[in-house]
Structure 1
């Protein structure tokens, strides 16, 4: 299976499938990502531990702080105590809340997370158009990125007192 096909199936599984946690699984919230495909999470009871991301999700699904996961416990781990089995999106959280399977400790956090994501999707428009800013930004191009890997002919004239015509004739003589 190619990488693109694998990614397509993983994304389809995460976005489309409705997942209900089993008795062994639990819902957790991501606190931070220390690296190496590990995520520090918090349970509804307030316990903090690390979870590992399985290889099928790596470079296919991105997990950020505040996201909710369903994890399977790992008995042999000291620091890493669980493995991610499912990444919950906003629709999954709403469905679990309607079914009464959502932990009460995460109810307020999920509502705030929903409100913040809704606010970010609505762009704020300025009250008045500001024409003076547009004029000044077009006049001041000194802050634009300049690629120093390419020598532009008009810049050569700045460093060498040769014109472009004399530069081309002198280059022909030196090589």
Structure 2
């Protein structure tokens, strides 16, 4: 199977159904040698491998969602399965609409297309303009009593 065919397979999972034993998981982070630690819906964590057909096509990062088949990829005692699908946001949205997405992974996202509502400010709060100034966090903040003591030395 060529890279183009694999990419089409990866992006085109309109009729996706979990097979026997497959589970949804969230990636906790890479552990090296094409292995990733994932957390399943029940809270358990396992080490899984990324098969060679996905390695040059997609990056799996912390927080991404994948479908894991625990029966595949059990090369060693530590590895508990293989990533079968990498889910993109459009796939997750489709699965949520179909009611197949697990509630443990549901997140409350705000609608990014709408800007946040601005709260009305009182005229009294505009008198003090010090809150609007840039604060440099790389420098220690000295109070007035500390700065006057250091000047007198």
- What TM bracket, shorter-length normalisation? 0.5 to 0.7
Name the residue aligned to 2:8. Answer: 12
Listed as ranges, the gaps of 5+ residues in structure 2 are 114-153
Give the SS at the match of 1:57.
helix
Aligned-CA RMSD value: 2.3
Contact 1:20 1:96 in 2 (8 A): no
Instruction: Give the drift of 1:60.
Output: 1.5
CA contact (8 A) 2:21 2:71 kept: no
| Structure-1-length-normalised TM-score | 0.57
Residue number among 28, 31, 35 corresponding to 2:32 in the alignment:
35
Question: Which protein has the larger Cα radius of gyration, Structure 1 or Structure 2?
Answer: 1
Instruction: Pick the structure with more helix per residue.
Output: 1
Residue 45 of structure 1 is matched in structure 2 by: 42
CA distance in 2, matches of 1:20, 1:87: 14
TM superposition score normalised by structure 2: 0.64
State the alpha-carbon separation in 2 of the partners of residues 85 and 57 from structure 1: 9
Residues 24 and 68 in structure 2, CA contact (< 8 A), matched pair in contact too: yes
Counterpart Cα distance in 2 of 1:49 and 1:60: 23
- Listed as ranges, the gaps of 5+ residues in structure 1 are 120-175
Q: Indicate the residue corresponding to 1:173 in structure 2.
A: none
